[in-house]
Every structure is written in C-alpha cells, then in structure tokens.
Amino acid sequence: MAKAEQAPKAKNPAKRKSILHYWTNLSLTRQGTVILAIPLTCLLITMAAWIGTRKNEEFTYQQIVHTQKVLRTSDQLLNVLINAETGIRGYGLTEDQKFLTSYREALPDIEPTVQELFQQVQGNPEQRQQVTGLKLLIQQELDILAKTLKQIENDFRFAPQAPRLGVLVEQGKARMDAVRQSLQDFKETEQELLVRRRTRLNQARFVNDALLGVSGVISLLGFAAALSLYRQTEKQMLRRGNELAATNRILATANLTLAERNKELDQFTYVVSHDLKAPLRAIANLSEWIEEDLEEKLDEENRYQMNLLRKRVHRMEALINGLLQFSRIGRRQSTIETIRVEDLLSEIIDSLAPPTEFKIEIMGPMPTLQTDTLQLQQVFSNLLSNAIKHHHQSEGHIWVSGTKQPDCYEFVVSDDGPGIAEDYHDKIFKIFQVLDSRDTTENTGIGLSIVQKIVKSKGGRIQVESKPNQGTTFRFTWPKRE
C-alpha cells in the first residue's frame, strides 16, 4: 500500500515578519536616522558615480588630446625633413641659392622636434622605441644631405659630378623613404591608439550617462521611500502622542486620587495618633494618682512596677510619634532654605543637651546648602542622639565632618562607643529593630529607619562602619542643591 503523501508543513506566520513590522518596532530616533540616511546615501552614490566616471572621461579625453598632439608633432617633423630634402634637391638641380633657404631654416627645427616627439611618448615603450630608431634614420638622412650639399658646393659644374651626386641622391631618397615609412608606422600606431581612446571615451560617456540615470532613479526611489517612511513615522508619532495624552490623563486622575488618599491618610494618622495618645496620657496620669493615693501602702516592688508602667506608656507615645514621622517622609511639601550646616549642628547639639562629659567635635568647615532644613535636621539629630544614648561609658567623644564630592556632599558621624557587630549592620536600619533591651534603653527602633528613608528620598546613600569595641561611623550623602 502506497504511503500517503505528507502534507507540506505550514509556515509559521510569525516568522514572516514584514519590513513594516520591524519598522514600527524601531524607536523614533532610529526611524529618523533611516529616513535621513536613505536619500543621503542615494545622493552620495550619485555624486561618487558621477565624479568617478567624470574623472575617467576627463582622463581619456586628455589622452586623446595627447595622441592628437603626438600626431601633429610627427607631421611637423615630416614636413621639416621634406623641406630640408627639397632645398638640397632644388639647389642641386638649379644651383640656385634660394633653395638652400628652406634647408637652412629646417635644420634648427629637426632636433628639437625629435626631442619633443620623444618626450611625448615617454609613457609608451613601443612608441619610444620607434622614435629612437627614427632618430637614427633622421641622423643618417641629415648626414647624406650634408654630404650632398658639400659635393655640390665643391664643383658647380653638375654634369661631370652627375654619377657621384646621383649616388648620394639615391642614398638620400632611400633614407628619406625609410624615414617616411618609420613615421608612417609611428602614426599608424598612434592612430590605433587614438581610435581605442576615442572608443574608451565614448564608453566612459555612456557609462557616465547610464550611472547618472540609474543613480537618479535610485535617488528618486530613495526619496520616495524616505517620504513614505516619514509619513508612517508621522502617523506613528501621532498615535503615540494620543497614547501619551491618554496616559497623562490617567496619571492626572491617579495623582488627584493619590492626593485625596494622602489627605485622607493624614487625617487618619492625626485621628489615630490623637485617639491613641489620649488614653496613654490618661494611663500615665492614673498611675501617678494611684501611686500618690496609696503612697503609704505601696512597697518598693509596686513602686518599681508603677514606674515601669509609665516608662512603657512613654515608650508607646514615642513609638506613635516615630511612626507618624516615618509615614510623613516623602509626602510632606519640602521647604527649601539656605542653611549653614555648622549652625544647624550647633542648634541640634544644644537641643540634645548632651552630658558635660560628652564632647561633640565638628571637624573642619561645613558647607552651606539649599535644602530641606527639617529633614537634614532629623538625620543629624537621630544619629547624634543614638551616639549619645547607646554609648557604654559616661564619657564619650563624637566627631562630625563633611567633604565635598563631585555631585554631592558626604557627611560622617563617628563615635568611640561600644560598636556594632557586622551581623547587625543591615538589621539596624529596619523598623522596630533594637540591639539593647527596651527596658534598658529607651529606644523605639524607628530612628535609623527614618534616617535611611530620608537619605534615600534625596537620592543619597547611607552606610555603617563598625566593629565591637571600636566605635561606630555612619556615612551618608546629601545633594548639593535641591
């Protein structure tokens, strides 16, 4: 049973992507480049073709002119030789001195004409060889003419010398015929060269015209293609403009919605913080009243528990305040001011009121910035407060410095405190992360999270360098201008 013919596999239409498909996927910049490149390339091809063929045509024409000049020089040489020969023969036949005039006038022109002809065929080895042989024949002819003239002048009586003169005349005729034949061969060679060069000139002109025609057609097609691509690009830009306008409308609506949500969030935050703080304050006050009312009945353990209760209430209030600050970062309208960082640090240090045993040293000059003063104040305040709060000794030293970078300022806050193990370098920036017991140190675990969020919102970066018992260094960058 014959096998059924297998149906040809259908080609995947996705593989046959048209030029238009690739074109529409190009960026507008590349589309513009292609649109400009097509006509420019066609124009360059046309110019290159025209220049090349024009140079070839001009070179061939110069060769033709040169060949014609060589032919004229060879004719001129033949005429000069004929004049010299005619002058000697006329003088020999008539003994009339006037025939010698043409001979004597011809002699000075022969050598320069031969040299000129030799120079004109320097680029043609075959013709140069012919001219070299021609020079020898001409010299022999001139020698015979000179001998003939001398023989005629020695004896003015022609008849007795006729046999001897006749020999010289025959020799001169034979030599002149050889010169004529040599010049004729030379001219035939030049004529063949002239024909070939004229043929080449006509071909060059034909090719030039053909190239110009083809290049013109290509240029027209190129401009037509560029125009078509331009129209497609114009439609694509119009479509993209409409899409962009629609996207802008969506973004505008989203921005309005986001602004309303932010407003609602601010109201919610205010209400929540107020509703949370009020009972916390009531709990703190109530604990104080109970302690006052039961002052004589409370033992030390109960007093300790009441103090612990109030501390945790205050910590809860601080935690709420920290959360409020953290949530407002990036949503509050920035107020840009010109500030001297050194003055700002002095105000912060004064507000923190560090122990007298602590020394906070500002290293070197500090820059003057145009920035959001409140946020920079929050960053420095949290870093300095942590350095004081978490120091393991009653005496401590803190250094603050600032250096100018190419695109920002880098600030450094260092201390000689207990340091931080490398395992905790990333954890300390996470919200609610604390290293000490909450009952040992009043800490919400939000301060460094606020610092990191503020620095990143300014496009900066913050990092910690620390090892146990070797102090801690915080480095952060801040823009030069907002």
pLDDT given for residue 31 in this prediction: 65
pLDDT given for residue 410 in this prediction: 93
pLDDT given for residue 442 in this prediction: 53
Residue, of 481 and 164, whose pLDDT is higher: 481
Amino acid (1-letter code) at residue 237: M
The two tokens of residue 319 are 């935690």
Q: What angle do helix axes 373-389 and 447-457 make, rounded to 10 degrees?
A: 150
Tell me the mean pLDDT in the region 346-354.
86
pLDDT given for residue 176 in this prediction: 76
Residue found by looking up tokens 């140079």 in the block: 55
Tell me the mean pLDDT in the region 243-269.
80
Write the pLDDT tens digit of every residue in 12-34.
Answer: 544 445 666 666 676 666 766 77
d(CA 396, CA 110): 117
Write the pLDDT tens digit of every residue in 54-81.
Answer: 787 787 788 788 878 888 888 888 888 8
Write the pLDDT tens digit of every residue in 377-431.
Answer: 889 988 998 888 888 787 899 999 999 988 899 999 999 989 888 888 888 877 6
Residue, of 65 and 272, whose pLDDT is higher: 65
User: pTM for the full model?
Assistant: 0.43
pLDDT given for residue 435 in this prediction: 58
What does the DSSP 8-state code read for residue 24? H
SS3 label, residue 410: strand
d(CA 138, CA 381): 115
| Dihedral sign, Cα of residue 212, residue 213, residue 219, residue 223 | positive
- Strand ranges inside 332-458, DSSP E: 336-340, 358-363, 368-372, 396-404, 408-415
| Secondary element (H or E) of residue 476 | strand 472-479
* Per-residue pLDDT band at 343 (split at 50, 70, 90): very high
- The mean-pLDDT minimum among 21-35, 219-233, 322-336, 456-470 falls in 322-336
pLDDT given for residue 462 in this prediction: 92
Whether the pLDDT of residue 319 is over 80: the answer is no
* Per-residue pLDDT band at 472 (split at 50, 70, 90): very high
Write the pLDDT tens digit of every residue in 439-469.
Answer: 455 555 677 888 888 899 888 999 999 988 8
Tell me the mean pLDDT in the region 175-204.
76
* Per-residue pLDDT band at 223 (split at 50, 70, 90): confident
d(CA 343, CA 321): 26
Using alpha carbons only, give the angle 135, 139, 141 rounded to the nearest 5 degrees. 115
Upper half-sphere CA count for residue 42 (Cβ side, 13 Å)? 20
pLDDT given for residue 90 in this prediction: 80
Closest CA to 402 of 352, 341, 327: 341
Instruction: Compute the chain's Rg from CA coordinates.
Output: 55
Between the alpha carbon of residue 460 and those of residues 331, 412, 415, 463, 477, the distances in Å are 18, 13, 22, 10, 5
